[in-house]
Amino acid sequence: MSIRLNKYLAAAGLCSRREADRLIAEGRVEVNGQPAGMGLLVTDADRVKVNGRTIKSAPDKVVLAYYKPVGVTCTARDRYADKPLGEIFRYPVRVTYAGRLDKDSEGLLLMTNDGLLIERMMSGSQGHEKEYVVKLDKKITDILIDKMITGVFLKELNLMTRPCQVKAEGAYTLRIILTQGVNRQIKRMCKELGYQVKSIKRIRVLNIRLADLQPGEYRRLTGQELESLYRSCGLSD
């Protein structure tokens, strides 16, 4: 069966289809020794290379729940990062993250070799829920909670955040559920309202929970948990 080249690269776990299109446009992809064109159809019998490296057909899908520790940067390699994720996290199959966490944040990070799943999870238009426990530098007020629930205008981005779910877990701790992927959204929202974030822990993405994982630990998703994740993303595993 033939499929589009960008889907082939995504299914092989190399990248998302959007990133695959960029690689193709930049002339970094070859099929059977020739530069690949956009929209090209390929099969497992074709020889596909990216930057001179042969890309094999899609491996078995792997999805992991990983507890990213504080201090680890979501990048494969970065000479300026003390602890790049690509050097800290080890697994027999090549996987990458679906939805990053800041260096000074911790908690649930989904790791997979399924480029289509990554693409769906990285799309802010999908409205996927992500849940966080956030500690602040000052006591929480009802005014703060009400403003965060209805949306906060981020002046530096000229953007109003979507309504979200927020409740107090203590005098200084909030539980927040977001449905969009604005960079450093929680920190930006709190800053606009006169607060500083002391710590952020992501405890859930869609139906996947951090549960009892400890920093640096991971578990492979299987069964109903994995099936529900794929269904939530409009895919079947």
Q: In this predicted structure, what is the pLDDT of residue 76? A: 66
Indicate the DSSP class of residue 17.
Answer: H
Mean pLDDT computed over every residue of the chain: 90
Confidence of residue 80 (pLDDT cuts 50, 70, 90): low
Q: In this predicted structure, what is the pLDDT of residue 28? A: 94
**Is the dihedral angle over the CA atoms 163, 164, 169, 171 positive or is it negative?**
negative
Report, as an integer, the average pLDDT of 207-229.
95
Residues annotated catalytic, as ranges: 102
Report, as an integer, the average pLDDT of 137-153.
97
Please report, rounded to a whole number, the percentage of residues in the chain having pLDDT higher than 90.
Answer: 63
- pTM of the full predicted structure? 0.77
